[in-house]
Amino acid sequence: MIGLSTERSPSTKVVVPHFIAASLALIILSILTFLSANSFIGSFHTQYILTIVHIAALSWGTMIIIGSLYQLIPVVFETKLYSESLAIFNFWLFVISISLFAYSFWASKLLDLMPYSSSMIFISVWLFTINIILSYKSANKKDISAKFIITAIFWLMMTSLLGLLLAFNYKYGFLDNTNYRYLKIHAHFGIVGWFLQLIMGVGTTLVPMFLVSHKLDNKKIERAYYLLNTGLVLLYIDWQFLQTSFLIYLYWTIISLSIIQYSSFIYDSYKNKLRKLDIGMRHTMLAFVLVSLPVIFSAIIVFIPYTQFAFLKNIIVLYGVSIFLGFFTNMIFGQTYKTIPFIIWLNRYQKYVGRAKTPFPRELYNEKIANIQFYSYNIMLMTFTVGILFNVLLLVQIGASLLIFTALLYNINMFKIIFEKKEIIMNK
């Protein structure tokens, strides 16, 4: 894992706060999910579900991705982060703006607070973008992984811009009456353009590195990149301007082919691995298996007429759940167990190598707790899914309770890694 660090790596003061904030956000997310269990089997387009979705997307997913990117930029771009001071300032701006934004949804402050909190998020996203683009400008390495990351950041900018327009539209109503169309575009810019593409770009570097895999077909990655962005651009053009009812099948096929190409690359990495799967890579590999679920759910939504499908609402909810909880969260769990222990080890123990007995990065967390978390999380996912599919509130509540339990276990390990100092015994 030495590839995670170079002499250009940023200070832990830049990276670690993002992991702490995201870990705490996961607890808040799980508690709100339990309190809003009714909304998952009722009318899902509620202030509570919108709050949960945005906490999952921003406070949990995007927060931890940004922290990871700050550590990975020197590796992927072979250059230093442009400004650590800007990154630290932007972290606090992001925390404050997301907190206000989530509260504006939960408390239905759509006219009062939302336009201003969304403006702060917009500014934060653009400051992050400026920092990354200026870093990329001096990059010594601009391969396909870097291309994925830069393109993902472009889609993040577009997501934040459209989100800002939607927030001000609540107050001023300047968009047309087809607000749902803009919400669909906003959601898929974020899900496909930002999250999926960023995971693909980072995974291109990290998965083979963690599995110690060699001789992989990078043409699959190239095809995945162009298919994904072609499908997303065509989808936007159609939803924004053409509004056809039949071309959606083509766009779904193009994006699905991108996911298949990328999944094939990951499978090749797994087949050629030289290292056994630890808890981090078990989560990661499971995430790539579970990416099939949103593909399946989206196929049902696209190919089965609304009037002939009684469970359509349930499938739409499961589409979102399978993305944020099935794929993204398993991926985040996996990569944090691989990255944050090593980042802390480098900062705290590397200087003692050769002079004292030091712990291994995997010894910085409790493996038993991590294993319990792995099983509780995936039992939660199955319970939650069945409860939503068949409108069983009790199962949704049990699933949400397990999510709280999982979030607590994850936080115990994250705080153990970050704050617990192992005893150093100097060599005689």
User: Considering the domain boundaries, does residue 270 fall inside one?
Assistant: yes
Domain holding 63, by residue range, is: 2-355
CA 1 to chain centre: 21
What sign results for the dihedral spanned by CA atoms 249, 255, 261, 264? negative
CATH number of the domain to which 200 belongs: 1.20.210.10
pLDDT digits (tens, 9 = 90+) for 20-70: 999 999 999 999 999 999 999 876 678 899 999 999 999 999 999 999 999
Q: What is the DSSP string of 199-216?
A: HHHHHHHHHHHHHT--S-
Per residue in 347-357, pLDDT (tens digit) is: 898 888 878 88
The number of domains in the chain is: 1
Residue 78 predicted with pLDDT over 90: no
**Does residue 234 lie within any of the structural domains?**
yes
- State the maximum Cα–Cα separation within the chain, in Å, rounded to a whole number: 77
**H-type alpha helices, 138-277:** 144-172, 179-188, 197-211, 218-237, 248-271
Please name the residues in contact with 317: beta carbons below 8 A apart, sequence gap of 6 or more: 40, 41, 44, 388
pLDDT band at 177 (very low <50, low <70, confident <90, very high): low
Contact 348, 12 (CB under 8 A): no
pLDDT, residue 246, reads 86
Mean pLDDT value across residues 231-249: 91
> Which tokens in the block code for residue 343?
């980042």
Decide if 365 is inside a domain: no
Instruction: For 269-296, write each residue's pLDDT tens digit.
Output: 999 998 889 999 999 999 999 999 999 9
Full-prediction pTM beyond 0.95? Answer: no
In a domain, 319, yes or no: yes
CB contact at 8 A, 274 and 213: yes
* Percentage of the chain modeled with pLDDT above 70: 95
What mean pLDDT value characterizes the chain?
Answer: 91
Check residues 406 and 1 and name the one with the higher pLDDT: 406
Instruction: Pick the more confident residue, 2 or 200.
Output: 200
User: Is 14 inside any structural domain?
Assistant: yes
Backbone angles phi, psi at 353, to 5 degrees: -60, 130
In angstroms, the CA 319 to CA 294 distance is: 5
Buried b (16+ CB within 10 A) or exposed e, 236-245: bebbeeeeee
Whole-angstrom distance, CA of residue 135 vs CA of residue 156: 17
- Is position 202 within any domain? yes
Judged against a pLDDT cut of 70, whether residue 337 lies above it is answered with yes
Lowest mean pLDDT among 75-84, 111-120, 170-179, 394-403: 170-179
User: Is 51 domain-assigned?
Assistant: yes
Q: Where are the alpha helices (DSSP H) in 309-428?
A: 312-321, 329-348, 367-389, 393-419
- Do residues 345 and 364 lie in contact, with contact meaning Cβ atoms separated by under 8 Å? yes
Residue 343 covered by a domain: yes
